[in-house]
Amino acid sequence: MQIEGELKQYDMVVAGGGPSGLFCAHCGAMAGKAVLVLEKMPSCGRKLLVSGTGQCNITHDGEISAFLAHYGTHGKFVKPALLQFSNHDLVRFFHARGLEMVTEPGGKVFPSTRRAGDVLAVLISECARSGVDIHCNEPVIGVAVSRGGFEVKTIRTAYISPHFVIATGGVTYPATGSSGDGYTLAASLGHRITEIGPALSAVRVKDFPYPDLAGMSFEDLRISVVRQKKHVWRNRGDLIFTHHGLSGPGILDLSRYIRAGDQILVSFAPSQEPEEAAKALHAALLRGGRVQVATVLRGIGLPDRLARRLLDMAGIADGSTCAHLGRSARNAVVQLISGHPFEVEALAGFDRAMVTRGGVDLDEVNPKTMESRLHRGLYFTGEVLDVDGDSGGYNLQFACASGVLAARSIAGVATKKRTSTP
């Protein structure tokens, strides 16, 4: 660090002390840069500490090429960062520092201790070891292009640096410090911010008919989002009833596309496409004879309580047999099972959603370096960008990888297909 007049000078100033900012700072310092991290909260990594209900699902298993489909339409943008610092690199990073990782059957990767605090402790320790200055309780309140670099103003003082990294996260869990500061900073420098909204979010359903079935879960269902009578997205995954609507991975991963007023169609026939389920159920009811309709529904995997509720909604009396089922009643129950409509009232708010949809426009950021296309020396990493991944560790993986890529770009380290740990 140097003093220039009244301004303190660093090679890199990083706004945000989450995993993305800490990885960026550590890698920059290891490359010989004088690095400052400015964190608005009393301590770093507060959102990291609540991730995965405090257990920190830090990444996902498998080949990194399979990750790209888990970032909505932004797989092409995240590719360079993920290739140069993969999920396997991330696991090796913590292994080398004494924190082992374990993989669940579904592919989620957690620290073996199941404590997010242990992940944060490693990052803080590595920053200290590499000489990073971390200033907590010092939010960035403004930034301006100045003297061939950036003048970064805080509530205490100002700093000058040729490289400024915005790693402030999104707006979810605002109590942890994620309140959208990065969007304000980026916009002040001329960057466009795409529409912000909650993602990885549960859905509140208008007049939800099953609040008494809260906690009931379903595996591998087909789920569609319909807007103005057009299917805008389809997904398959697990679903959970809540007291107010729908949740579970199948809903969370779709939530980036869901808006108030949309209709969600759920096929409750596990592992079957809606059309296939409708045909199969029609055939089963037509040949059912004296078999009770509820028995047929249980036979395709519906829980008994839900089966009886669906029959009631279709106007079919309890105990009715297939032989006594009229065409309209049969069509009604088939529709409820193969494409049950739920009208979206709202998504869970930013205080409950796991990540933020929207952010710094990706057209204005170089994905090979994380550098702004508008200002040389300005970088963006992690959730402040218009990138949100599926549930399962994809967001933390990108946060860490983008931080590493930005630091290596600043340090002039070759990043093409690089797989070594920082």
Tens-digit pLDDT profile for residues 302-338: 999 999 999 999 999 989 999 988 899 999 999 999 9
Q: How confident is the model at residue 300 (pLDDT cuts 50, 70, 90)?
A: confident
Structure tokens at 148: 């061939």
Q: How confident is the model at residue 421 (pLDDT cuts 50, 70, 90)?
A: low
The verdict on 359 and 222 lying in the same domain is no
Is residue 134 within 8 A of residue 40, CB to CB? The reply is: no
Measured CA to CA in angstroms, residue 15 lies from 39, 134, 164, 172, 214 at distances of 6, 10, 8, 17, 41
Name residue, tokens 């700072």. Answer: 25
CA distance 345 to 338: 22
**Tally of structural domains, the chain:** 2
pLDDT at position 1: 52
The verdict on 342 and 374 lying in the same domain is no
Q: How confident is the model at residue 418 (pLDDT cuts 50, 70, 90)?
A: very low
Strand order across the beta sheet in which 365-366 lies: 133-135, 35-38, 12-15, 164-166, 378-380, 371-372, 365-366
Residue 280 DSSP SS3: helix
Find the CATH number of the domain harbouring 182: 3.50.50.60
pLDDT, average across residues 2-25:
87
CA distance 329 to 397: 49
Could you report how far apart the first and last alpha carbons of the chain are, in Å?
A: 22
With respect to residue 418, please indicate whether it lies within any of the assigned structural domains.
no
* Residue 282, pLDDT above cutoff 60: yes
Least confident of 29-33, 160-164, 297-301, 398-402: 297-301
Is residue 51 within 8 A of residue 57, CB to CB? The reply is: yes
Q: Please state, for a pLDDT cut of 70, what percent of the chain lies above it.
A: 96
Q: How confident is the model at residue 183 (pLDDT cuts 50, 70, 90)?
A: very high
**Domain end marker among 295, 313, 347:** 347
**Domain end marker among 347, 365, 396:** 347
pLDDT at position 318: 87
The verdict on 260 and 390 lying in the same domain is no
User: Among 398, 414, 377, which residue's Cα sits nearest to residue 31?
Assistant: 414
Q: What is the mean pLDDT of the chain?
A: 93
pLDDT, average across residues 190-211:
96
Structure tokens at 175: 């109590």
* Residue 422, pLDDT above cutoff 90: no
The verdict on 179 and 40 lying in the same domain is yes
With respect to residue 416, please indicate whether it lies within any of the assigned structural domains.
no
* Residue 191, pLDDT above cutoff 70: yes
* Residue 138, pLDDT above cutoff 80: yes
Which residues, other chains included, contact 266 with Cβ-Cβ below 8 Å and sequence gap of 6+?
A: 221, 222, 223, 239, 246, 339, 340, 342
pLDDT at position 262: 97
With respect to residue 419, please indicate whether it lies within any of the assigned structural domains.
no
The verdict on 57 and 151 lying in the same domain is yes
Is residue 399 within 8 A of residue 20, CB to CB? The reply is: yes
* Residue 268, pLDDT above cutoff 90: yes
* Residue 4, pLDDT above cutoff 70: no
- Count of C-beta atoms within a 10 Å radius of residue 238: 18
pLDDT at position 419: 41
Using a 10 angstrom Cβ sphere, with 0-12 exposed, 13-18 middle and 19 or more buried, the burial of residue 216 is middle
With respect to residue 95, please indicate whether it lies within any of the assigned structural domains.
yes
Higher pLDDT among residues 153 and 147, named by residue: 153
Structure tokens at 110: 């957690």
The verdict on 339 and 373 lying in the same domain is no
Is residue 56 within 8 A of residue 115, CB to CB? The reply is: yes
Structure tokens at 162: 């040729």
With respect to residue 12, please indicate whether it lies within any of the assigned structural domains.
yes
Q: What residues make up the domain containing 398?
A: 2-197+355-411
CA distance 207 to 209: 6
With respect to residue 421, please indicate whether it lies within any of the assigned structural domains.
no
pLDDT, average across residues 196-218:
96
The verdict on 24 and 93 lying in the same domain is yes
- Helices (runs of H) and strands (runs of E) counted in the chain: 12, 23
With respect to residue 394, please indicate whether it lies within any of the assigned structural domains.
yes
Higher pLDDT among residues 380 and 231, named by residue: 380
* Residue 414, pLDDT above cutoff 50: no
The verdict on 220 and 182 lying in the same domain is no
The verdict on 133 and 253 lying in the same domain is no
H or E stretch covering 399: helix 394-411
Higher pLDDT among residues 33 and 277, named by residue: 33
The verdict on 320 and 388 lying in the same domain is no
Measured CA to CA in angstroms, residue 112 lies from 19, 58, 115, 126 at distances of 18, 11, 8, 19
* Residue 342, pLDDT above cutoff 90: yes
The verdict on 327 and 370 lying in the same domain is no
**Domain end marker among 299, 331, 347:** 347
The verdict on 132 and 222 lying in the same domain is no
Higher pLDDT among residues 5 and 37, named by residue: 37
pLDDT at position 6: 64
